[in-house]
Structure 1
Amino acid sequence: MVEKAVIIGGGIAGTVAAIALHKAGVGSVVYESYPTGADDAGAFFTIMHNGMNALAAVDLDHVVAEHSYPAQGVRLVTGAGREISARTYSQGPRTLRRAALYQVLHAEAAKRGIRVEHSKRLVSTTENADGVVATFADGSTAEGDVLIAADGTHSTARAIINPEAPPARYTGLNVVYGYAPARPREEPNTYTFVHGARAAFGYIGVPNGQTWWFSRLPGPELDLAGMTPQQWKDHASAFFADDDFPVVEIIQSTDGEVIGSNVYDIPTTPNWHTERMVLAGDAAHAASPAAGQGASMALEDAVTLARCLRDLPPDKGFPVYESLRRDRVEHLVANSAERDATRKGGAPMSEAELADVTRRRQAYQTWLYEHHIDWAEPVS
């Protein structure tokens, strides 16, 4: 059975995998390539019901809840301001900054005696019958019974585990995030999604009085290093100039941090594991943020993988883990790509078409949100 894991990547999947393995009685060390935190740390996201369920399985849900805001409902409006649908959540989703989640998870790992080493960029691995050795760019090495590769969308380990794996695919969308100083007119803790004529926009008023917003914008890959906050605001505003809903007002009122990124996905990875190494999170199955499930799927992966390694040796545990996860996550990636396709050209949907799509998506969301992980149930 596994006694020690080498975990590549100190983001959501890697750190929660370490904590879940600790609960399963398996030791680990996390190796993160960035000096502190990880990329895109200024952005925010929502951990949906299923993600919170995964956190609850390893006693982390209450900690994350203490450092996040509840999302109590969601409404969809057109660019003209007409409401198409609205629903409330009895419990579940939490919204927080990515950097805040990293800090919380790393603090919880430290409480459990889990070491996180920074500035450790993986360059190669050596695998044998007894375990695996990871070599980093600074010349140091790490040994373990298994290696868990949770090093993100542009994973180095993915190509090592599966040289024929396709690279991450640019989806044709950019995402821009910002934090406006004023609260919107709607009740706080309610997400509003605006289906504009040319792009999608979403925002939520949080209890500190701010409006946290994002936009998904069709277009070519951008030079992220060359964009100032004002250029990002102007770039995003141009997509909503013809809409009546005050999207441009919200964007331009932002006087602080604005973060933009190119969006990539990974529709499928042919092989998730070798005898001693396995992929988790975005390294295996990155999805666009259209369904808001990237963090939640990474959490599901981490907890499911820990259960498999708790109950089975790697040669059996890895295939079982892949069989439990592959169909679900690839379905999510495909669904997110389908949503993105509606934002990349063609005539805007009519209100009737938008309402029909919304009804179908709500049924799909039920399947997503009701996923439950029973930590105590043995894996066979």
Structure 2
Amino acid sequence: MSITRSALVIGGGIAGPVAATALRRAGIDAHVYEAYSGPSDGIGSGLALAPNGVAALDIIGAGDAVRGIALPVQGMRLAVGGREHILPVLADQPPLQVVDRGELHRTLHDYAVAAGVPFTYDKRLMRVDEHADGVTAHFTDGSTASADILVGCDGIRSTVRSLIDPAAPGPDYTGMLGFGALVECELDLPADTMVFAFGAKAYYLYWQHADGRVAWGANLPSKQYYSLTEARAVPAEHWLRVLRETYAPDTPGGEFARRTTAENLEITGALHIMPPVPHWHRDRMVLVGDAVHAPSNSSGQGASLAIESAVQLARCLRDIDTPTAAFAAYEQLRRSRVEGIAARAAKVNHSKTPGPFARKIMNAMMPLMVKTVMNPEKTMGAERRYRIDWDAPVQRELVASTL
């Protein structure tokens, strides 16, 4: 029987509230500490939750709440040089659930609070003392908090990661900046369809809401790195000029850029991917979500993997006696899956800016590609069909994973 009874969860974005809620379901008292002054709001634009991620939310009872704020997207199309190709989908899987990141943060926060999880804000982690029977977190305001374990859900710039391993790698820049907007635009597109478009100069994607408005996201190539803070410090009018110039040759991308305003432009800043992290845990500290595995946005799995890992960690702590052994089991269950998905997404990143000749080749080869390298059964079947069996003993799954 597990000896873990309490946990400090550092970070209140997506992974943090899910981890704390799952830990409480596993019988562990979890408390979330967030560096910001309140629930994460206005960070990023839209994201897609894959069926495996929503299924993990169902385990903690939050799936319906998230479906309630989401747009289900079943159909997929690929646009290359203005020519569209309908992509095959996994017919046996539920649709993607596309949500606004800020709304998702609020929904997961509210659900965790309703489940009894306390949140404390303005708590920026500075250091952690580990002792024989627990950990003590020290925050920059001089306060402290103690528990049996500490769970780092503090994102790609994770303080917990650097405390576990000062030599741990940080996130790699993909060479692209993220932007998004919701615009008024007439578009002949089913409401449940997402289009991935290879423009003349840059990649973008879009989908239509039930009210007719179109959500679009831009992956803008940029040699210069801009963090979220740095990108938002640049006047929105500058980014609008760059976006309109970049997407001017594209249909409908050019129209989306022209209809985007300074008021509705969502600025995300640099898009990242985490390289493999050598050490996921140390003693009584462990990492979850983007702090340890952040595939690029090309994966369509970033948030879903974070949710899965949060739930799997809770299972391991529930079923395994000591934190050290539970953390090792958690890593065994998760590492190969998340690193495989990250590797797939990295390959997609390299193909986001094909030249004119490459676009012609892509269009000519598309009928063959959808049966081979773009066949969802080959690329996403195992990813999206993955389901966590909460009631199954973790030890049984560990044995199965070694066979």
TM-score for the superposition, normalised by structure 1: 0.94
Q: In the TM superposition, what is the alpha-carbon distance from 1:59 to its structure 2 partner? A: 1.5
CA distance in 1, matches of 2:369, 2:137: 46
Q: Deviations over 1:236-268 (max 9, x none)?
A: 23333233x221101221244212211111111
Alignment of 1:247 with 2:229, yes or no, is no
Q: How far has the Cα of 1:336 moved from its partner?
A: 1.3
Q: 1:76 to 1:344 in 2, by over 3 A?
A: closer
Residue ranges of structure 2 left out of the alignment (5+ in a row): 396-403
In the alignment, which residue of structure 2 is the partner of 1:131?
A: 134
Q: Distance in 2 between matches of 1:352 and 1:304?
A: 43
Q: Distance in 2 between matches of 1:125 and 1:284?
A: 18
In 1, the alpha carbon distance for the partners of 2:369 and 2:10 equals: 39
| Gap change, CA 1:173 and 1:116, over 3 Å in 2 | same
Shift of 1:79: 2.3
Q: CA-to-partner distance for each residue in 1:63-102, whole Å, 9 max, x for gaps? A: 1111111112111111223325354765231111111111
Distance (whole Å) between structure 1 residues aligned to residue 323 and residue 71 of structure 2:
38
Unaligned runs of 5+ in 1: none
Aligned length, in residue pairs: 379
Equivalent residues of 2:173, 2:272 under 8 A apart: yes
1:270: which partner in 2? Answer: 278
Distance in structure 2 (CA, Å) of the matches to 1:185 and 1:149:
44
User: For residue 204 of structure 1, what is the amino acid of its counterpart?
Assistant: W
Higher mean C-alpha deviation, range 3-12 or range 85-94? 85-94
Report the counterpart of residue 364 of structure 2 in structure 1. Answer: 352
Instruction: Please name the residue that 1:236 is paired with.
Output: 243
CA change 1:142–1:344 in 2 (3 A) is farther
Do the aligned residues in 2 keep the contact of 1:176 with 1:215 (CA within 8 Å)? yes
**Does residue 380 of structure 2 align to residue 365 of structure 1?**
yes
Q: CA deviation at 1:134?
A: 0.7
Equivalent residue runs for 1:302-341 within 5 Å: 302-312=310-320, 313-341=322-350
Q: Which runs of 4+ in 1 moved over 6 A?
A: none
Over the aligned positions, Cα root-mean-square deviation in angstroms equals 1.9
Q: Percent identity?
A: 35
Deviation at 1:125, TM superposition (A): 0.4
- Which of 171, 175, 183 does residue 174 from structure 2 map onto? 171
2:150 pairs with 1:147:
yes
Counterpart contact for 2:72–2:98, Cα < 8 Å: yes
Q: Which amino acid aligns with 1:303?
A: V
Contact map agreement 1:229 1:257 (CA 8 A) in 2: no
Q: State how far apart, in whole Å, the 2-side matches of 1:198 and 1:354 are.
A: 20
What is the DSSP-based 3-state SS (H/G/I as helix, E as strand, rest coil) of the residue aligned with 1:151?
coil
Residue 119 of structure 1: CA displacement? 1.2
Q: Does the Cα contact within 8 Å between 2:180 and 2:217 map onto a contact in 1?
A: yes
Match of 2:232 among 225, 231, 252: 225
Q: Matched residues in 2 for 1:34 and 1:356: separation?
A: 49
Q: Distance in 2 between matches of 1:217 and 1:357?
A: 25
Maintained 8 Å contact 2:313/2:330: yes
**1:209 Cα deviation (Å)?**
2.8
Pick closer, same or farther for the CA change 1:299–1:249 going to 2, 3 Å: same
> How many Å apart are 1:275 and its aligned residue?
1.5
